[in-house]
Structure 1
Amino acid sequence: MNSDAESTIEVSRSSRSAFDDDDEEEEENKSCAVCGDKATGYHFHAMTCEGCKAFFRRTVKMDLQFNCPYSQKCIVTKKNRRQCQACRFQKCLKSGMRSDFIMSDEAVANRRAVIKRRREKMGTLLLQNDSPSLTPQQSELIDCLFKAYQQYFISYFPKIVIVRDKQQDITDLSESSCGQHLSSASPDGSGQQSLSPFVIAQMAEINTFFTIQVINFAKAIPAFRTLPIEDQIILLKGSVFEVSEIISTTVFDVDTCTWDYGNDRFTIKDAIDAGVQQFFIEDVINFHKKLHILKPHETEYILMATLCIFAPDRPGLLQKDIISQVQEELAATLKAYIDQNYPVTKKSMRFPVLLSFLTELRSLNELHSKQILLLQEGLWTPLLKEVFS
């Protein structure tokens, strides 16, 4: 596995630090990690201000070289950050800023083109309706969730690389049909005859990656951060699998039954080689296929995933009423989005049908709980043990 994937899918992070979200950390994160100025968000993997963001991007893209005229130990602050560019750049690197996060001019142009097409499509959809159904608050919520989805899932998918040991070439696998994939499994579907340690380790890292990103996604939601840490943990433990499956559907290729992460694809054979039982794989595949038929918008996927998180019926919750209220607001937002973006002939049944998929996910989650008890110890990282204990 390459260094980018290793840095992206961290298995050594403690489960407590992943859940922890105290006020002191929130206050610290408001300052630029480089110069101490007011931070505007995470830029290139570090919390920085706009000035240091622009400086880092310009330095990397232009391949600039700096020399410190002093002792290479300059203290970088908001007032003097322009005095020594060498020390400022080193402070950027020490603060966690990563050059590989800087998009090429071509990638930026492609992203802008995608955004433009999305806005044009949205404008066309709005014209098809007499009046918008979304309130300003609902639009703001969708924007918040969409940004978190882009940051914690979409931007990381291309960094996933599947490590295999003398397995069939991925090109050959991708040309096969779903039926051929499943029929190639062992008779009992257990895959116990040819377990691959490489794929077992890979699957553990992918599951850990999704767990960490679901946690990060949830923590980006203001309503989630206001809950007691005990409720946050319960909600995350109960919803990690469900959210992961919804997000995985967005990269699922129905024709080849593979999950396309950009650089590589995860196949049914990979799951079988890791010891996942065939009956469970078939249920997951069927779920993805049925949801694909509806061709949900990204916003619908995101709202469905968020609804999975705010489930007031998870055992042991302290603030069930508040969580129930948030769930109702999310459901109302999904309904309003459907009303706004679909013609009358299609939107009448779309909302209840999408909600029925969340009910089906609950059943899959129960099967998953039984399935993980059968998997080898190699699939368990410290975080996975904590979440699925």
Structure 2
Amino acid sequence: MNNEECRQLLSVLSDIHNEDEKFLKNVSDKLDRQPLFLANSASYVGRVKSVNPTFTWEKYFDKLNEGERQNMDGYFQKINSSYLGMKTVMLAVQKNAEESILLEHVFKLFSIISFDPLPQDVIIQFIKSIDPQKSAEDICLQLKHCSLFFQTENNDIRVHSVVHEAIVNYSSQTFGCKQSENNSKKSAADLACQVAWALNRFEDREDEIKIIPHLIKFITNSSFQHFLNKLIDVKSSKQKLDERNWKIAKYFVDVLVRFCNYKLATKVLYEITEIQTKMLGVDHIDVSYSYNELGGLLWKNGEYENAKAFLERAMKIQAKTFGTDHVNIAATYNNLGSVYNDMGEYEKAKDFYERAIEIETKAFGPDHVNIATTTIIWV
């Protein structure tokens, strides 16, 4: 349904007043323009307004945001036996999961990512990481014939927000109960890695921006902690970082930075740097590069004191490893210059910028591109 059709449906069934119309689009978006859910919502608002004239769509929208859908579902089930509530949708999810192990896997995937469009090849990669024998054709056919999924013009797969909520609820109630506690933890860790590997397929794609809602949901989900635990290669005789998972975690940081989500990028980088530090030691040169990157992100977040602290730690490690005039330390000097400049300490900023330029001039010559990107700012 388009916006006008949603507005008309909600207006007619709820006898809405003009001042409430600004919230119709919000409600339509929240319910993913699904006709039956919109009709149920409008009926609910209309009935409540008949006994409480002060009730508005704004208040209803607040109820949705506060997670009161279950209470409203219970009300509708009492007054209307044909009401399509969350329980009904969950039964549909359960039925599809019981009839198809492939769809059960897809539900697991969507339970920890967003309901936004997801390219089919990402889903195919996810399924094949679990069952390599599954053909892409079989996966696509089952997705197409499952009424809980929508296929966009670009062959992306998405679900209604209401269906997504049902999938999340069903997953939390079902998947963990099928195994012992130890097996459940292992299964959760395996699932987290499989999701991360699938999302990694967005790297270097033209439609890379589609990863953002899914990545945000994944990172803010408890499953992400299971993935972080997998950064350590426990199969190795000597504990070390798992190279594949480490590269994926760094990709997640990079893509968040590219799309300017600096706060979440900082959170992820901080968490993986803590793991890196435990594995390699606080004085390892690779840790210094992570400190340098953390300092840069904190600077972009406006957290200048924290940024300075990490950059100084990076500088100390690099100076100890390479010496104070090595080219590898120039980027840290430059970042410190930027931090001090934004803190208003212009003389210190000038000093660090000049040291960076001096090192890079000796290493690359005065006409190298690196020199052009290192700027002295002073007043």
TM range (shorter): under 0.3
Identify which of structures 1 and 2 has the higher relative contact order when contacts are C-alpha pairs closer than 8 Å and 6+ apart: 1
Larger fraction in helix: 2
TM-score, normalization by structure 2: 0.26
TM-score, normalization by structure 1: 0.25
Select the structure of larger CA radius of gyration. 2
